[in-house]
Every structure is written in C-alpha cells, then in structure tokens.
Amino acid sequence: MCLSIREHTAEACASEPFVFVPVDGSAVTVVDHNHTKDLGAVGTLSQRSRGLKVINAMCVSPRGVPIGLCAQVWWARSGLRSSKRNDARAVEEKETRFWHEVLKDVADLFEHSSCRCWFQLDREADSWSILKHLSTLPHWFTVRGNRDRIVLVRNKAKSKLRSVLRRRRVLGAYSFEVTAGPRRSAHVARIALRTANVTLLLRDKKTGKALPTEVNVVWAREAGPVRKGERRVDWVLLTNHPVGTVEQAIQVVYGYTQRWRIEDFHRTWKSGHCNIESSQLRSQRALKKWATLLAAVAMRIERLKHLSRTQPELPANVELSPTEIQALLLMMQKYGKRTEHITDNMMPTIAQATEWIARLGGYMGKSSGGPPGSITIGRGLEYLRAVTDGVEAVLSRRTKTASANRATSKNLGKPKRSHQC
C-alpha cells in the first residue's frame, strides 16, 4: 500500500486516544474470460471468476467518523486445489497468513504513536491463529465468535462458551438502532448484555498443541419478540477490552458496529463511484496501483457522506481546502438556486457543502430518495477538482503578476547612479 496514505492516516489519528480499526477481506473481480490477464481465481472454482484478493484495514474515530486506510494486502490465488487438507497445513501455507500480515502492518504503523488501535473483526477472523496473534499485540481487539468454542472454567473442567454465558446474570440492557440487512429490517432493538472472563481452549490443528488464551466475552442478544422471518441480534464478541461495567460492555458492542464502515468503503470502492471492478488493466501491478489510488478517493467520499449526516453543523473547512471552498462557492453562485444567497466569503457547513458537491454530480434533492449518496458525491468531487485546478491556476498567475509588479515598482523608485567622474 502507498506509504503516504498510511502515514497521513496515522498522523490524522495522533490526536485521538484510540481509534477503531475495522479489518475485512474482499475479492476484486474483473472481466478476464480468456484468462489472459496476470490475475488469479476468485470465488468458487466452479465460477471461474478472475481477479485479486485483498484485505483492508481502516481507521475510524471514537465518534464513528472514517479517517483513512492504514493497511492493505493483495494476493492472487493460483486456482489449484491444495493436495493437503486444511488441518494439515501450517499457517504460512494458508491465506490466514495475510490476516496476520495486515494486523502486523497496522501495529508497526502505530508502534510509536500514543493512539491505541481497537481492531474490529467479523466471524471470518474467529480462528485460533488470528486470536492468538491478536492477544500478543499491544492493542485492543474485538472478534465476533463464529462457533461455540470450548472454554476452561475455574475448576479446569471443559464447557461450551454459550453454556457459560447463559449462567451469567444480565449485566444491563440498552436500546440501539439496527440498520436493515439480510433478513432484518431497520428497527430499534433492546439489547441484553451478559459478560464473562473465560479461557478459550484454542488448538493448533496441525500439531495438536493446546493454546489456552484468556479473553473477555460480551454476549449481546436482542430481548423480546422479533418480526416473523427476521433474525434476532445475537452477537458473541471476544475481546481483551475491559467489560466489568455496563458502559464498558456497551462500548465493546458499539465498537463492533463500526465494522460496517469498511463494508460501506468496499461498496463505494469496488462497485460504487470508483467502480474498480470495471477496470480493463491487464496486470496485477497496474491494477493494484490504480485501485490503491481510488481507495483514497473512496475513503474521502465516505468521510464526507458520514460527516454531513452525523455532524451537519461543522464548518466545511474540516474536510475541504480553502481553494476547494472558493471553487465551490463560485460554482454555486453560477448554478445554485435563486433562493440561495451565496457570498464570496461565506463558510458553508459540511452538510451544505456536501449537498452542493452532490448537486454538481447530479443529485436532485431529497425527493430523489434521501440524502446524497456516494455516487453523486463522487461525481461532484470530480467536477469540483477540475474547477479547483482552474482557481489555483488563476490565483497562482495573480501572485506571480503581483510579485513582478512589486519588483518593477521597487526598481523604478531607485535613484539612478551618476556615471560622471
């Protein structure tokens, strides 16, 4: 990944006590029917799809605002089945090693920073090797459990994790808004919280070696009835963050909900405005470079979208440069609504500026279905970039002309030297 993108993200995180770091893998699928491009297999072998695999890690502020990408790892699959069973392969022979690489890259980036990372990973990361690796890092982590793991209780007897959690009293309950998803409509859920400190009995399946690992657990389960055919919120979250109080348990659940920020990013990056999956590039090297550049664009789109919806009264200069604001004001003075009074020196809010940018990209207002989305914001940023370049060129010419005029005036004002002996 481009070093400057990672360094810029780390610099932007420096003022925060901690940042959430959602980590997620994805596949970038491109058209390669004849298998002539320098790519690999993605999806199932029967699909014969081509492209690259990637794992991204991004930083999100404690308030849920996307900050930027902090790690990115690419690889291409060979498309051949391994002759070994999965259990018989070492971690270095599995794709799990790329998860380790991403986590290490993030830890290295923040090694000398006062900002602490809080990794947020979904069920795909519920692996003995990833959990063990996370437990060795000087950062917090939360992993959603994918299986009912075996744990060791105080008398050293073995038990199932959910059985242990069911015996715990409810620590507290609270309500939060659940967004719509597969088999789940948007609604306000009442969540009951149970917590425990357990020792997971992890095991290296290749060597058979037992690896006891102590973690805290938060069981967040939706209380009360749910709509017919819908799934109940039921999350078992493995973490090394303290969970002794209701507030701490709620913070763990809130942190896990920030993991969706990276799914929004992937949508904008892969098939939304940036649409890297439409690329016709033929080599891994070229595709990686192009996609990494567009990753920075997708992150800015997501940041603008989020700020405009959650902190609409912020001034636009928290995200836009002075020249971008000047260019945007010029465009709105020409193309804005007649009822809008736009002056040269006004400072729009981030919500106003984002709506104006989206209108440059074709946004027709809330009647089009809601607030500005990533596609119209992205189109508007492209338009604004061209106008901003023009404004910068004019300002640069004015500065050079003014400097030349001052130099000429200074020379004209000097007394002429006499050449008489």
User: Taken in order 384, 386, 390, 396, is the CA torsion positive or negative?
Assistant: positive
Residues 151 and 160 sit within 8 Å (Cβ to Cβ): yes
Residue length, the chain? 421
- The pLDDT value recorded for residue 281 is 92
- Residues near 350 by beta carbon (within 8 Å), at least 6 away in sequence: 304, 307, 308, 311, 312, 313, 314, 315, 316, 318, 319
Relative to beta strand 116-121, strand 18-30 is parallel
pLDDT of residue 140: 98
The CB density around residue 137, as the number of other CB atoms within 10 Å, is 16
Angle between helices 374-412 and 322-335 (to 10 degrees): 110
CB 164 within 8 A of CB 150: no
pLDDT of residue 414: 61
CA dihedral (347, 349, 355, 361) positive or negative = positive
Question: Nearest to residue 265, comparing CAs of 24, 85, 16, 13?
Answer: 24
User: What domains lie within the chain, and their CATH numbers?
Assistant: 138-258 (3.90.350.10), 311-408 (1.10.740.10)
pLDDT tens digits in sequence order for the chain, 421 residues long: 666 899 999 999 999 999 999 999 999 999 988 888 889 989 877 778 899 999 999 999 999 999 999 999 999 988 666 667 777 788 888 999 999 999 999 999 999 999 999 999 999 999 999 999 999 999 999 999 998 999 987 767 789 999 999 999 999 999 988 888 777 888 888 999 999 999 999 988 888 888 999 999 999 999 988 888 888 899 999 999 999 999 999 999 999 999 999 999 999 999 999 999 999 998 999 999 999 999 999 999 999 999 999 999 999 999 999 999 999 999 999 988 888 889 888 999 999 999 999 999 999 887 777 899 999 999 999 999 999 999 999 988 888 887 777 777 777 666 656 555 4
Sort 72 into a burial class: Cβ within 10 Å, 0-12 / 13-18 / 19+: buried
The residues facing 41 across adjacent strands are 50, 77
Q: Return the residue matching tokens 């009293």.
A: 169
| Residue 48: per-residue pLDDT | 81
How far apart are the C-alpha atoms of 306 and 319, rounded to whole Å? 12
CB atoms within 10 A of CB 193: 22
What is the rounded distance in angstroms from the CA atom of residue 236 to the CA atom of residue 219? Answer: 5
Question: What is the predicted pLDDT for the residue at 180?
Answer: 80
